[in-house]
Amino acid sequence: MIENYLIHILILIGIYIILAVSLNIALGYTGLLNLGHIAFFGIGAYTSAILTREGIPFILALIISCIIAGCFGFLLVWITKRLKGDYLALATLGFSFLIYSLMLNLSSITNGPLGISGISRPNIFGYFLKSNFEFLLFVIFIAIISCMIMYAIIKSPFGRLLHATRDDELGLRVLGKNTIKIKYKAMIISSLFAGLAGSLFAHYNGYIDPTSFMLNSIIFIFTIVIVGGIASFKGSIIATFILFIIPELLRFFAIPSHVLGPTRQIIYALILIGILLFKPKGLFGRIDLE
Amino acid sequence: MILKIECLTKRFGGIHAVKDCSLEIEREKITAIIGPNGSGKTTLFNLISKLLKSNDGHIHFNGKNITKLKDYEISKSGISRTFQDVRLFRNLTIKDHLEISLSNSDESIFKSLFKDKPNNAERIDRILKLVHLKKPLNTLVTDLSYGQRKLLDLAMAIAKPHSLLLLDEPVAGVNPVLREEIKEIIKNLNKNKGTILLIEHDMNFVMDLADYIFVMDAGKIIAHGEPAEIQSNKKVLEAYLGD
Ligand SMILES: Nc1ncnc2c1ncn2[C@@H]1O[C@H](COP(=O)(O)OP(=O)(O)OP(=O)(O)O)[C@@H](O)[C@H]1O
Ligand SMILES: [Mg+2]
C-alpha cells in the first residue's frame, strides 16, 4: 500500500531529522568533528529496548535513554577535550567502534550480533501506538518539540558562543569564556537528542542489532548535515527529506532488490562528493570554515 | 600599582624569548613596551594572558597572584587584550562580537533561554562611537577592511569588563589618519581612568602618548623611564640602531 509505505518513510525522516539536527549542533555550530554521533543514537536505542524489556514504562525508558546518551556525550568530551580537528575525528571514530563492539560483545544484555527483537510499541500513559499512523503523529510531535528546543538554543546568547567556539576557540577564551565548558554543554545537548532519536528508532523498528549503528550510518548522517550545510538548521531538515526520497525514487526503476542497498550507498557517496566539490558550504550553509 | 611582574622567564627550546623580566604598571597610566622585532614583547603579553605558560616568575594583578590561573580566568579577572594579528570570529557580525565581549559569563543555557536578554544596544552604540567604527551592526567581520577589523578588535577589548587593557601594536599596518585616530581613542580611554599597557615598536608613536616606557631587547628589559629619559638613553639607541 502506498500510504503505508509513505508513512514508513515519513517516520524515518522524523527520526533522522532529530539525529541530523543534533549532529549539526556539535559538528556545525560548535565545530566539533564528531564521528561518534551514531554511537549516541545506538546507546539511546539499546537503552530504551533493554529497559522496556525489563518492564520499565516507555516514557520513562525514553527519558532515561536521553540521559544515558547525554552522559556518554559528557564522557566523550571529557576524554577528547584537548583534541581538535583530525585527531578529534579519529578519537570519536574510535568511540563509535568501542560502543559498537560493546553492543556486539556484551551479549548478556545486548544479545550480541543477534540484536534485540520484539521491542514493544510505545505505550503512552496506557495508550498503545499500535498503528504506524499513530506512531507517525507521535514522531512528528517529538521532532517538532526537539527542533524547537534546539532552535531556541542556537539562537540564544549561548548559541552565539557555539559559533564563536568554532570560529576561534582561543580568541573566545581570551574574552573570558570557558570554551571547554561550552563544548561539554554542546555535546551533551547533541548526544541527548541523538539518544532520543535512537529510542524512537528502536520502538518503531521493533528490532535492533549493532549493524544499524556502524560506519554506513555515520556516513549517512554526515552526508545529511554536509548536504544541508554546516550550521544550517533548515538545511539539515530539508537534506534529510532529500536523502531519504532520492533513493526511494530508485524503486520506480526496475532495479533488482539485491542491488538496491549497494546502489543507495553509491548514491549517497556520489551526492557527498558532488556537494564537497561543487557546493562545499552545502545547499543552505553560509558558514565559512578555515 | 595594578600589575606586578617578577622575574618572568620563557624559553622556546634554546631561545630565551623573555628573560628574567620584572616590571610594575601603575593605575590610570599609559605604559608602553617598545623594542625591536623579536625582542619578546608579544611573548610577554601572552605570558600575562596565559596563552603561554612561563618557565619561571610570578604575575600579580590587583594584588592577587594570577600566575596559576587559566587563560579565561585571567580574562575574567579583568585583563582585556588585543592581538597583533587581529583575531575575530569569521562567521559572526559586529553585534555578535560586542554582545559576547560585553558579557562576562559563559551563558548558562537555561538563563540564555528563559531570562530576558540584557539590552546592550546603547552600550554597543557608545563603544562603536568611541572607536569611530561606522558600520551596520549586522556586518560580517569578513566584510570589514583591515583598519575596521583593528577597530573592532579594540572595541571588543574595551567592551569586555576589565581594569587593565593590553594592546599589542594597535596601529601596526594602519594608515596615518587612522593612526592618529587610534592615538586619540587611547588618550580618551586613559582620560576616563583607563589603565593601558601597549606594545609598539615605533618609538616616535609612543613618545607623546605614554606616561612611562619599558624597553625590551632580546627578552630583557634594558631600560625604563619617562619618555624623555628613554629618548636620550644610550642603551636604547644602541638596541634600535643595532637592529
Ligand atoms: N610559539 C613560539 N615558538 C617558538 N618561538 C617563538 C614563539 N613565539 C615567539 N617565539 C620567538 O620568541 C622571540 C620573541 O618573539 P615575540 O613575538 O615575543 O617578539 P616581539 O617583540 O613581539 O616582535 P615583533 O615586534 O616582531 O612583534 C622571537 O625570537 C620569536 O621567534
Ligand atoms: Mg609582537
Q: Residue of the nearest CA to atom 19 in ligand 1? A: B38
Q: From the list B87, B90, B106, which residue is nearest A181 (CB)?
A: B106
Read off the pLDDT of each residue in A271-288 and give the average, rounded to a whole number. Answer: 88
pLDDT at B241 over 70: no
Q: From the list B87, B88, B117, which residue is nearest A157 (CB)?
A: B117
Query: How far apart, in whole angstroms, are the C-alpha atoms of residue A163 and residue B51?
Result: 21
CB contact under 8 A, A171 and B75: no
Query: How far apart, in whole angstroms, are the C-alpha atoms of residue B41 and residue B36?
Result: 9
CB contact under 8 A, A153 and B160: no
Domains of chain B: total? 1
Residues 85-144 of B with CB under 8 A from A: 87-92, 96, 99-101, 103-104, 106-109, 112-113, 117, 142
The x, y and z cell numbers of residue A153, run together, are 538554543
Q: Where are the domains of chain A?
A: 2-211
How close is the nearest chain A Cα to the Cα of B5, in Å?
20
Residue-wise pLDDT for A20-31, tens only, equals 999 999 999 999
Residue-wise pLDDT for A38-67, tens only, equals 999 999 999 999 999 999 999 999 999 999
Residue with more model confidence, A253 or A97: A97
Confidence of residue A232 (pLDDT cuts 50, 70, 90): very high
> Does ligand 1 have an atom closer than 6 angstroms to the CB of B200?
no
Q: Residue of the nearest CA to atom 9 in ligand 1? A: B43
> Does ligand 1 have an atom closer than 6 angstroms to the CB of B150?
no
pLDDT at B243 over 60: no
State the complex-level ipTM: 0.92
Q: Which of A122, A111, A139, A127 is nearest to A50 (CA)?
A: A111
- Binding-site residues on chain A for chain B (CB distance < 8 A): 152-153, 156-161, 163-164, 166-168, 170-179, 181-182, 185, 189, 231, 286-288, 290
How close is the nearest chain B Cα to the Cα of A189, in Å?
10
CB contact under 8 A, B112 and A177: no
Query: How far apart, in whole angstroms, are the C-alpha atoms of residue A162 and residue B218?
Result: 40
Q: Nearest residue of A to residue B93 by CA position?
A: A160
Residue-wise pLDDT for A206-218, tens only, equals 999 999 998 888 8
What range does the domain containing B169 cover?
A: 3-241
CB contact under 8 A, A178 and B96: no
What are A237-245's contacts with CB under 8 Å, separation 24+? A237/A17, A237/A20, A237/A21, A237/A147, A238/A283, A238/A284, A239/A20, A239/A282, A239/A283, A240/A13, A240/A16, A240/A17, A240/A20, A241/A13, A243/A268, A243/A271, A244/A9, A244/A12, A244/A13, A244/A16, A245/A9
B87, B99, B137: best mutation site toward chain A, by most A Cβ within 10 Å? B87
CB contact under 8 A, B99 and A171: no
> Does ligand 1 have an atom closer than 6 angstroms to the CB of B40?
yes
The pTM of the full predicted model, rounded to 2 decimals, is: 0.92
Q: What is the mean pLDDT of chain B?
A: 91
How close is the nearest chain A Cα to the Cα of B167, in Å?
13
CATH assignment at residue B152: 3.40.50.300
Which of A122-126, B201-205, B209-213 ranks highest by mean pLDDT?
A: B209-213
pLDDT at residue number A290: 65
Grid look-up 568533528 returns: A33
Helix residue spans in chain B (DSSP H): 41-48, 71-76, 94-102, 109-114, 121-130, 146-159, 176-191, 203-207, 227-231, 234-241
Read off the pLDDT of each residue in B107-118 and give the average, rounded to a whole number. Answer: 78
How many contacts, defined by CB atoms under 8 Å, are there between A and B?
A: 92
Query: How far apart, in whole angstroms, are the C-alpha atoms of residue B30 and residue B110?
Result: 41
